[in-house]
Amino acid sequence: MPIIVNLDVMMAKRKMSLNELSEKVDITLSNLSILKTGKAKAVRFTTLESICKALDCQPGDILEYIDE
């Protein structure tokens, strides 16, 4: 898939654990893990907004398009 999820990179930059982000964003740990590993088929804009707010970043910091 040409969309790469760099959630783990942003979490490391912010020194935030998956558990902490899960609590701040109010998403289950399993759903956040699915997103982090790039296995998610879709992400809601409201979820993306909450993640960006919690990590103080832009959507482009988390999602990347790579032409294959």
pLDDT for 1: 64
18-25 and 29-36 helices cross at what angle (nearest 10)?
A: 110
Q: What is the pLDDT of residue 68?
A: 75
CATH number of 3-65: 1.10.260.40
Calculate the average pLDDT of the chain: 93
DSSP of 6-67: -HHHHHHHTT--HHHHHHHHT--HHHHHHHHTT--S---HHHHHHHHHHHT--HHHHEEE--
Q: What is the DSSP letter of 56?
A: T
Q: What pTM, to 2 d.p., does this model score? A: 0.89
Judge whether residue 51 has pLDDT over 80: yes
